[in-house]
């Protein structure tokens, strides 16, 4: 319900209960609460039905209930009522008190009178005391007990405020006020004097506590017009009553209007409890409560402030530009509201409550500020990372980049923090600044490690590339200067790469000790590359050599049970290389004139040299005695003596003299056992070579001795003459000779009889008929070819066909140096389709064999032009016409479906006879072994391929 400003409400009911709810409504509707200190409180006391309500209504335009005179005189006002004066500035609140000396309460019930009087004195600036004119000067006047009560309760107020007592004399008579007032004042003084006072105020004059004013009004009932006129004049005195010199008292202890209701309630509570009323303490208490209420209200306003909520939401997702400015403005608004409302309360209390409010506000907004700092921290770190990357990419030095960007990032963070703080708080963001600094330092360290690691890895990769393959190559050609070459290589490459590395990390501004340490580590790494390569390369080379050796073994059918250890493979490889090649690395052709034992010794010596090279890693130039020891003990044969004691055997040890164990690859005792095994296995090779040489010599000495030839001529003279006289016999003899010769070549008589007479006869007998059949077929084939040749000659004489037709004719088979039907030519024919690379490299059938694919390990060797020994007509030896024919078989590629090639590179001394090309050729043992090897290998091929 809206309360009109003139509408009076009950503040305290007749039972003495404070009507807080209706009073609050009144305060809100009458707008008193916002008046601050600019308000005045007026009360009226007086006997019952003395026209108090009538006077107030006429004075201030209020609507207090008045007694209806036509219904009889009775109590109208019960308790205390309150209303706001109409048209009086400043805001004036008026209290209408229950009349004293009322019949309703009885003669002895004066408690409420005293309580209400004290209440009126405590909260009012002006107290109107309504009294009848005819009571002045009377001893038993009705106002005398009232005044006594007022003065007595006044003494119960500590530090009482100075109140104006305005005596309103009603129904004034013809006696002028000038005569009435002294009498009244005298009565008042008498009453004041009669009141018991505390010792401190015993002699205090009444003027210390009261401003006594007196006025008189005509009767409202009899002289209403005059009454109204004089009331209007009197009303003027209530305008600006609180101004200096105004009607109001000194207003000490006045509380702000917003606290008026609370203050009144508390005062009434104290009065009801019959306690002394300490107005200053009450004022502080009111201020405390009210400031608390105001602070709570303002804090609540802030928490629901739209700008604050928007700001708080925004800062959750990222930094807010102008955060401090926006937040400071919002806080300012609410703090100023507090100041505005609390300004009239006790200053000490007000300030204390303001501080409390401020700390609550800061606690509320600090998480948002911390969030803002977190965003700034993240942004500073991101900026640092980005700019560092860009700067490093531009090539600027690492340390200089870090210094510049750190400074700029921290400055930006600092500015962001300064922008985020508010003037109300002295928030310290130095800890966050330290965190950002640590973030940057951590990131810098990680990037530094990463960059240094990249540089180191790059240098290591360069070292690896620069050392691995050259070292591998040097080990391939192991010899006297191998380790010297490796040392030179190591020195050259490290001196080229390490300074470049040192130059690259100069930008990191490292301490010289760290820098040198890193270079030293890299140098150690380079050494480890060589060391590891020395070990690994042995393994790799062993594998290759083992493969090669296996093929060589297949070729010669010699080494069937060797290569039990990888070191032995190396030694064997060197041996077979030397043993099978001459000094110019040309495949050796056994002519029968070589000194096989001397060659074998050279081969063993070379193998031993390889063994000595591979026996240890030599980083220093200090010569060692490994080769000498190996030569003297192994090559000269002393080691083979079974009775050699360990004390005289320099190889009976696990370490080399002057060689560190960590640099030892093959120990002396290992060398010794390897050599024993090597000698045992190679002995057979040498024996085989000697046998081959002897067979060769036998082949060259097949003509019968001269005495036998003379005996044949003498004893067979008649038969010779018969043959000479009969050409048919001579022809048949010639044909028979040719047939026998062809059979002998085809059957390889010498080889068949190598295993003994009886096995030879059996073998030759079994092969005789098929061989004869082959020869006859060959003769028939030759005749057909001759006829085809004649046809072609005839066709050549005929008109030439169109070039395209000519291209479509099938190409003739490639010319063969051997017989087209010979096993070796079959070998070549079968091999050609197997090599796709060979096809690509040799589109023409007449391409040189040197264009074939070779083993990677033999690239250097294969790149040399193949030395082909053309048939030499100048040579008298029919078997000395040699050619080097390279046979490359991808046999391994067909076995087991492997995709890679295993290239068998065999230098085969091929045989081409002086006889016509189509005649059958006799095979030397090496060719025969190669064919046997091929046929054995090709047995794994599919039937069609074979
Ligand atoms: N004689 C005379 N009577 C008056 C005057 N003013 C008012 N009255 C009459 O006095 C009677 C009481 O008036 P109220 O104004 O109700 O008096 P009151 O003091 O408020 O009464 P309570 O509130 O009951 O104590 C009414 O009948 C009025 O008409 C006046 O100036 N002189």
Distance, in Å, from the CA atom of 326 to the CA atom of 332, rounded to the nearest integer, reads 10
What is the share, in percent, of the chain residues with pLDDT greater than 90?
Answer: 19
- Copy the structure tokens of residue 306: 């739209």
Which residue would you say has higher pLDDT here, 203 or 294?
Answer: 294
Return the closest-CA partner of residue 754 out of 931, 552, 925, 933.
925
pLDDT at 899: 33
Name the pLDDT band for 568 (thresholds 50, 70, 90). Answer: low
Name the pLDDT band for 413 (thresholds 50, 70, 90). Answer: very high
pLDDT tens, residue by residue, 162-200: 889 899 999 888 888 888 888 888 888 888 888 887 777
pLDDT for 648 beyond 80: no
Domain ranges of the chain: 38-254, 287-369, 445-545, 558-702, 718-793, 819-938
Least confident range from 23-37, 687-701, 794-808, 813-827: namely 813-827
The verdict on the CB of residue 219 being under 6 Å from ligand 1 is yes
Q: 370-379, 567-576, 752-761, 903-912 — which one is most confidently predicted on average? A: 370-379
Ramachandran bin of 243, using left for φ above 0, alpha for ψ from -120 to 50, beta for the remaining angles: beta
DSSP string, 245-310: TSSS---TT---HHHHHHHHHHHHHHHHTT--EEHHHHHHHHHHHHHHHHHHHHHHHHHT-HHHHH
pLDDT for 778 beyond 60: yes
Out of 221, 227, 231, mutate this one to test ligand 1's pocket (max ligand atoms within 8 Å of CB): namely: 221
pLDDT tens, residue by residue, 761-772: 888 888 888 888
Q: Could you tell me the sign of the dihedral formed by the alpha carbons of 81, 82, 86, 90, in that order?
A: positive
Least confident range from 9-18, 217-226, 853-862: namely 853-862
**pLDDT, average across residues 45-53:** 86
pLDDT tens, residue by residue, 783-820: 777 777 666 656 555 444 444 444 444 333 333 333 33
pLDDT tens, residue by residue, 511-556: 778 888 888 999 999 999 998 888 776 655 445 444 433 333 333 3
Q: Which residues of 898-918 are buried (b: 16+ CB within 10 A; e: fewer)?
A: eeebbbbbbbbbbbbbeeeeb
Supply the DSSP symbol for 616: B
pLDDT for 833 beyond 50: no
The verdict on the CB of residue 51 being under 6 Å from ligand 1 is yes
Distance, in Å, from the CA atom of 369 to the CA atom of 426, rounded to the nearest integer, reads 12
* Contact partners, residue 387, CB within 8 Å, separation at least 6: 405, 408, 409
**Cis peptide preceding 90, ω within 30 of 0:** yes
The verdict on the CB of residue 53 being under 6 Å from ligand 1 is yes
Name the pLDDT band for 831 (thresholds 50, 70, 90). Answer: very low
pLDDT at 137: 72
Which residue would you say has higher pLDDT here, 250 or 464?
Answer: 464
Does CATH number 3.40.50.300 belong to domain 38-254? yes
Q: Interhelix angle for 279-303 vs 323-342, to 10°?
A: 150
pLDDT at 832: 36
The verdict on the CB of residue 171 being under 6 Å from ligand 1 is yes
Closest C-alpha to ligand 1, atom 10: 51
Cα 297 to Cα 57, 180, 288, 329, 334, distances in angstroms: 37, 54, 14, 18, 9
Closest C-alpha to ligand 1, atom 8: 51
Return the closest-CA partner of residue 264 out of 609, 62, 27.
27
Distance, in Å, from the CA atom of 157 to the CA atom of 116, rounded to the nearest integer, reads 14
Largest CA distance in the chain: 217
Supply the DSSP symbol for 318: S
340 assigned to a ligand binding site: no
50 assigned to a ligand binding site: yes
Looking from the CA of residue 217, the nearest atom of ligand 1 is 31
Q: Are 126 and 42 in contact (CB under 8 A)?
A: yes
pLDDT tens, residue by residue, 615-646: 888 888 888 888 888 888 887 655 444 444 44
The verdict on the CB of residue 54 being under 6 Å from ligand 1 is yes
pLDDT at 556: 39
Least confident range from 125-129, 517-521, 942-946: namely 942-946
pLDDT at 186: 87
276 CA distance to ligand 1 middle (Å):
34
Q: Interhelix angle for 668-700 vs 566-580, to 10°?
A: 30
pLDDT for 613 beyond 70: yes
pLDDT at 402: 92
* Contact partners, residue 193, CB within 8 Å, separation at least 6: none
54 CA distance to ligand 1 middle (Å):
6
The verdict on the CB of residue 52 being under 6 Å from ligand 1 is yes
The verdict on the CB of residue 618 being under 6 Å from ligand 1 is no
pLDDT tens, residue by residue, 597-608: 776 777 677 777
pLDDT at 1: 41
The verdict on the CB of residue 116 being under 6 Å from ligand 1 is no
The verdict on the CB of residue 77 being under 6 Å from ligand 1 is yes
Closest C-alpha to ligand 1, atom 14: 51
CA 112 to chain centre: 84
CB atoms within 10 A of CB 649: 16
Which residue would you say has higher pLDDT here, 141 or 437?
Answer: 437
Distance, in Å, from the CA atom of 10 to the CA atom of 41, rounded to the nearest integer, reads 16
Q: What is the mean pLDDT of the chain?
A: 73
**pLDDT, average across residues 40-59:** 89
The partner residues of 906 in beta bridges, in order of sequence, read: 887
Closest C-alpha to ligand 1, atom 22: 49
929 CA distance to ligand 1 middle (Å):
158
Q: Are 299 and 142 in contact (CB under 8 A)?
A: no
Distance, in Å, from the CA atom of 826 to the CA atom of 817, rounded to the nearest integer, reads 12
Name the pLDDT band for 438 (thresholds 50, 70, 90). Answer: very high
The verdict on the CB of residue 221 being under 6 Å from ligand 1 is yes
pLDDT tens, residue by residue, 465-499: 999 889 888 877 777 788 889 999 999 999 999 88
423 assigned to a ligand binding site: no
pLDDT at 286: 86
Name the pLDDT band for 685 (thresholds 50, 70, 90). Answer: low
* Contact partners, residue 517, CB within 8 Å, separation at least 6: none
Closest C-alpha to ligand 1, atom 18: 49
Which residue would you say has higher pLDDT here, 853 or 777?
Answer: 777
Name the pLDDT band for 439 (thresholds 50, 70, 90). Answer: very high
pLDDT at 41: 92
pLDDT at 553: 37
Cα 544 to Cα 475, 535, 550, distances in angstroms: 13, 15, 10
**pLDDT, average across residues 734-760:** 78
Distance, in Å, from the CA atom of 496 to the CA atom of 296, rounded to the nearest integer, reads 79
Closest C-alpha to ligand 1, atom 9: 51
Closest C-alpha to ligand 1, atom 29: 69
Distance, in Å, from the CA atom of 474 to the CA atom of 470, rounded to the nearest integer, reads 6
Q: Are 169 and 214 in contact (CB under 8 A)?
A: yes
Q: Interhelix angle for 257-272 vs 20-30, to 10°?
A: 160
Name the pLDDT band for 781 (thresholds 50, 70, 90). Answer: confident
The verdict on the CB of residue 406 being under 6 Å from ligand 1 is no
The verdict on the CB of residue 619 being under 6 Å from ligand 1 is no
pLDDT at 814: 34
Name the pLDDT band for 278 (thresholds 50, 70, 90). Answer: confident
46 assigned to a ligand binding site: yes
The verdict on the CB of residue 80 being under 6 Å from ligand 1 is no
246 assigned to a ligand binding site: no
Closest C-alpha to ligand 1, atom 7: 51
**pLDDT, average across residues 906-915:** 35
84 CA distance to ligand 1 middle (Å):
20
**pLDDT, average across residues 679-705:** 67
pLDDT at 460: 92
The verdict on the CB of residue 231 being under 6 Å from ligand 1 is no
pLDDT at 882: 29
Q: Are 111 and 155 in contact (CB under 8 A)?
A: no
DSSP string, 87-106: S-SSEEEEEEEPPBS-TTT-
Q: Are 675 and 611 in contact (CB under 8 A)?
A: yes
The verdict on the CB of residue 75 being under 6 Å from ligand 1 is yes
Which residue would you say has higher pLDDT here, 296 or 675?
Answer: 296
Q: Are 516 and 498 in contact (CB under 8 A)?
A: no
DSSP string, 21-60: HHHHHHHHHHT-GGGTT-EEEEEEE-BTTSSHHHHHHHHH
The verdict on the CB of residue 220 being under 6 Å from ligand 1 is yes
pLDDT at 5: 52
Q: Are 920 and 745 in contact (CB under 8 A)?
A: yes
48 assigned to a ligand binding site: yes
Closest C-alpha to ligand 1, atom 13: 51
Q: Is 620 helix (H, G, I), strand (E, B) or coil?
A: coil
pLDDT at 69: 58
pLDDT at 558: 37
- Copy the structure tokens of residue 596: 């096989």
pLDDT at 811: 39
């Amino acid at each position: 319900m809206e309360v009109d400003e003139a509408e009076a409400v009950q503040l305290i009911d007749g039972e003495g209960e404070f009507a807080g709810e209706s009073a609050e409504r009144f305060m809100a509707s009458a707008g008193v609460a916002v008046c601050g200190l600019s308000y005045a409180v007026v009360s009226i006391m007086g006997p019952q039905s003395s026209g108090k309500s009538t006077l107030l209504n006429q004075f201030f335009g209020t609507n207090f209930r008045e007694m209806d005179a036509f219904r009889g005189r009775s109590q109208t006002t019960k308790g205390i009522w309150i209303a706001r004066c109409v048209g009086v500035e400043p805001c004036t609140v008026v209290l209408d008190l229950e009349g004293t000396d009322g019949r309703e309460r009885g003669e002895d019930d004066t408690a409420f009178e005293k309580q209400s009087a004290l209440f009126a004195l405590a909260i009012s600036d002006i107290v109107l005391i309504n009294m009848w004119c005819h009571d002045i000067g009377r001893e038993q006047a009705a106002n005398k007990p009232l005044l006594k009560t007022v003065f007595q309760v006044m003494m119960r107020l500590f530090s009482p405020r100075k109140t104006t007592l305005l005596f309103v004399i009603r129904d004034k008579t013809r006696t002028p006020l000038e005569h009435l007032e002294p009498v009244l004042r005298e009565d008042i003084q008498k009453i004041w004097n009669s009141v018991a006072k505390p010792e401190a105020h015993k002699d205090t004059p009444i003027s210390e506590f009261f401003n006594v004013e007196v006025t008189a009004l005509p009767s409202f009932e009899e002289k209403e017009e005059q009454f109204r006129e004089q009331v209007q004049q009197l009303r003027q005195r209530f305008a600006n009553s609180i101004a200096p010199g105004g009607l109001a008292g000194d207003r000490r202890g006045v509380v702000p209007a917003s606290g008026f209701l609370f203050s009144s309630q508390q005062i009434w509570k104290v009065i009801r409890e019959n306690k002394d009323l300490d107005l200053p303490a009450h004022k502080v208490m009111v201020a405390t409560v009210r400031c608390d209420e105001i602070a709570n209200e303002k804090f609540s306003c802030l928490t629901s402030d739209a700008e604050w909520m928007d700001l708080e939401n925004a800062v959750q997702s990222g930094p807010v530009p102008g955060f401090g400015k926006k937040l400071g403005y919002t806080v300012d608004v609410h703090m100023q509201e507090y100041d505005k409302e609390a300004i009239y309360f006790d200053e000490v209390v007000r300030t204390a409550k303001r501080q409390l409010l401020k700390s609550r506000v800061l606690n509320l907004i600090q998480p948002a500020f911390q969030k803002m700092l977190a965003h700034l921290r993240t942004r500073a770190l991101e900026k640092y990372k980005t700019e560092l990357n860009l700067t490093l990419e531009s090539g600027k030095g690492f340390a200089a980049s870090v210094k510049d960007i750190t400074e700029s990032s921290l400055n930006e963070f600092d500015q962001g923090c300064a922008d985020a703080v508010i003037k109300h708080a002295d928030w310290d963001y130095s800890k966050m600044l330290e965190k950002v600094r640590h973030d940057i330092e951590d990131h810098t360290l990680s990037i530094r490690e990463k960059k240094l690691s990249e540089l180191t890895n790059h240098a290591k990769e360069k070292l690896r590339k620069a050392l691995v393959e050259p070292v591998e190559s040097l080990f391939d050609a192991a010899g006297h200067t191998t380790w010297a070459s490796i040392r030179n290589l190591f020195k050259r490459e490290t001196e080229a790469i390490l300074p470049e590395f040192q130059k690259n990390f100069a930008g990191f501004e490292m301490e010289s000790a760290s820098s040198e340490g890193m270079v030293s580590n890299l140098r150690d790494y380079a050494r480890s590359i060589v060391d590891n390569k020395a070990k690994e390369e042995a393994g790799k080379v062993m594998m290759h050599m083992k493969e090669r050796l296996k093929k060589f073994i297949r070729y010669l059918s010699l080494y069937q049970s060797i290569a039990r250890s990888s070191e032995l493979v190396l030694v064997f490889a060197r041996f077979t290389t030397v043993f099978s090649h001459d000094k110019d690395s040309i495949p050796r052709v056994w002519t029968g004139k070589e000194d096989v034992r001397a060659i074998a010794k050279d081969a063993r010596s070379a193998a031993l040299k390889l063994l000595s090279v591979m026996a240890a890693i030599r980083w220093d130039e200090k010569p060692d005695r490994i080769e000498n020891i190996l030569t003297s003990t192994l090559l000269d044969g002393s080691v083979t003596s079974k009775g050699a004691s360990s004390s005289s055997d320099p190889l009976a040890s696990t370490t080399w003299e002057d060689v560190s164990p960590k640099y030892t690859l093959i120990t002396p005792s290992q060398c010794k056992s390897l050599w024993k095994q090597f000698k045992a296995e190679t002995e057979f090779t040498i024996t085989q070579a000697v046998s081959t040489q002897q067979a060769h010599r036998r082949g060259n000495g097949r003509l019968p001795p001269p005495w036998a030839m003379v005996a044949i001529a003498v004893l067979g003279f008649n038969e010779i003459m018969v043959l000479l006289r009969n050409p048919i016999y001579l022809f048949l003899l010639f044909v028979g000779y040719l047939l026998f010769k062809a059979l002998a070549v085809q059957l390889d008589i010498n080889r068949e009889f190598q295993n003994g007479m009886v096995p030879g006869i059996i073998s030759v007998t079994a092969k005789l008929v098929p061989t004869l059949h082959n020869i006859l077929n060959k003769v028939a084939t030759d005749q057909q070819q001759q006829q085809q040749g004649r046809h072609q000659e005839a066709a050549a004489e005929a008109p030439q066909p169109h070039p395209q037709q000519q291209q479509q004719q099938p190409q003739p088979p490639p010319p063969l140096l051997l017989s087209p039907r010979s096993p070796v030519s079959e070998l070549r024919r079968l091999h050609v389709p197997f090599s796709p690379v060979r096809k690509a490299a040799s589109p023409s059938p007449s391409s040189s064999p040197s264009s074939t694919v070779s083993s990677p390990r033999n690239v250097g060797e294969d790149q040399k032009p193949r030395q082909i020994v053309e048939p030499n007509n100048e040579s008298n030896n029919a078997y000395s016409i040699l050619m080097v024919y390279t046979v490359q078989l991808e046999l391994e590629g067909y076995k087991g479906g492997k995709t890679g090639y295993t290239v068998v590179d065999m230098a085969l001394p091929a045989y081409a006879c002086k006889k016509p090309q189509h005649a059958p050729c006799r095979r030397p043992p090496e060719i025969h072994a190669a064919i046997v090897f091929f046929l054995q290998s090709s047995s794994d091929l599919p039937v069609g391929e074979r």
